[in-house]
Amino acid sequence: MRIIPQLLVVAVLGLVAVPLAARFLPASHPMLDGLGLLNPMAAMGLVPPERAAEGEGRGSGPRGTPVVAAPAERQVLRDVITAIGSARGVQSVALAPGVSGRLLALTAAPGDMVRAGDLIAELDAEAAELAVERAELVLADARTTLERVDRLTGSGAATNLQRQDAELALRTAELALQSASRDLADHRLTAPIAGVVGLIGVQVGDLITPSTEVTRIEDRSALIIDFRMPERVAALIRVGDPVQANAVSAPNRPIEGRITAIDNRVDETSRTLRVQARIDNAGDALRAGMAFRVALEFTGEDYPAVDPLAIQWGSEGAYVWVVRAGKAEQLPIRILQRNADAVLVETALEPGDLVVTEGVQALRPGGEATVAPPGGS
């Protein structure tokens, strides 16, 4: 029977504590309003009318968990593939003589800029010059012989067969002169293209042959970068697509370029596709043989982009909180791409969904949520 006195004591304390809390603790007004006690207590004079109005106003407002949320934007998925490649001049020619001989003179030095047709080196051509003179004499004699045979044929003193033999001798002499002249020209090594002369590996007086590389001329007004792409993007690459190249030695200087050539097959060993891109070298700051990091960007479909702060992790993977019809819900996501300011995800968002970025700690599935403006109190 002791419980009855104890209940009476609790009831008395409650009757005393509740009016005191209503009068001196304004923070209790929303709770009292929710219990339906605030207005009756105000009518009894236990709560000042103005405080009762404030409490009623607070109690009648939204009761959900305050969160910061916004609709998810949509961004295009961009897949960036990078590769390392080596550069070469847009044209590069190794110079070697067409005949054997002793090097007589060098008319160019390493680093010289030459034009097509400029003389680079000259071989001793004394024997070739004598051969040309001999061929010229033979040709002159063959012409004289043909003229004499023509006169004799007109008078009946020579036959047509003799005239044919004279014509054949003349044609043979002409060919011999052409051959000797060509051999003489081969003793002069000229630049086939415009460009920069490389290191010269021979000296005046050396005996050189057609297998001797005298120097290399490189046209580096533009560079061709050879690199390889994985086979999964083979169907996406097109000639003319833009690329961004960075010299490995100068990573903070991006250079824009274009794809100029694509191989017609994938390498079976590496499962890669050989690609060539061209970049300008107007300032002549780059050199053939340099290593470049090449980046190609492929544009895909558009996906929801959420703030990185919105992504949460659980036992089943990543998810985000969304406010849907005033209720909080968890949506599982698959992360597709991380950017500097947003993360592209694949998830079942519906029109009108708001993705929560602040206040996720207090949310519960199906609980009420009140969306507050960012930075609001």
If pLDDT is split at 50, 70 and 90, which confidence band does 275 have?
A: very high
Give the per-residue pLDDT at 165.
86
Over the stretch 328-341, which tens digit does the pLDDT of each residue have?
888 899 988 887 78
pLDDT exceeds cutoff 80 at 36: no
Give the per-residue pLDDT at 315.
85
Over the stretch 247-258, which tens digit does the pLDDT of each residue have?
998 888 899 999
Interval 66-89 mean pLDDT: 87
Give the per-residue pLDDT at 56.
45
Give the per-residue pLDDT at 290.
93
Interval 114-136 mean pLDDT: 92
pTM exceeds cut of 0.95: no
pLDDT exceeds cutoff 50 at 52: no
How far apart, in whole angstroms, are the C-alpha atoms of residue 194 and residue 221? 10
Over the stretch 152-193, which tens digit does the pLDDT of each residue have?
877 777 788 888 888 899 999 999 999 999 999 889 999 999
Question: What percent of the chain has pLDDT above 90?
Answer: 40
Over the stretch 298-325, which tens digit does the pLDDT of each residue have?
877 788 888 888 899 988 889 998 988 8
If pLDDT is split at 50, 70 and 90, which confidence band does 54 have?
A: very low
Question: What percent of the chain has pLDDT above 70?
Answer: 82
pLDDT exceeds cutoff 90 at 279: yes
How far apart, in whole angstroms, are the C-alpha atoms of residue 287 and residue 290? 6
Hey, which bits of the chain come out as E strands? 65-70, 73-95, 101-106, 113-114, 119-123, 188-190, 195-197, 207-208, 215-230, 242-247, 250-266, 272-280, 291-306, 312-314, 317-324, 327-332, 334-338, 343-346, 354-358, 369-372
Q: Taking the alpha carbons of 191, 197, 198, 199 in that order, is the dihedral positive or negative?
A: positive
Average pLDDT in the chain = 83
pLDDT exceeds cutoff 90 at 70: no
Interval 345-363 mean pLDDT: 86
If pLDDT is split at 50, 70 and 90, which confidence band does 57 have?
A: very low
Q: Token pair of 279, please?
A: 């970049």
Q: Token pair of 110, please?
A: 């390493």
User: Listing from the earlier edge strand, what are the strands of the sheet with 188-190?
Assistant: 188-190, 119-123, 101-106, 207-208
If pLDDT is split at 50, 70 and 90, which confidence band does 58 have?
A: very low
Over the stretch 9-19, which tens digit does the pLDDT of each residue have?
556 555 656 66
If pLDDT is split at 50, 70 and 90, which confidence band does 361 have?
A: confident
Domains in the chain (CATH in brackets) are: 3-61 (no CATH), 66-75+302-372 (2.40.420.20), 82-87+219-301 (2.40.30.170), 125-186 (1.10.287)
Give the per-residue pLDDT at 171.
94
Torsion of CA 20, 26, 31, 37, to 10 degrees: 50
Interval 227-246 mean pLDDT: 91
If pLDDT is split at 50, 70 and 90, which confidence band does 4 have?
A: low
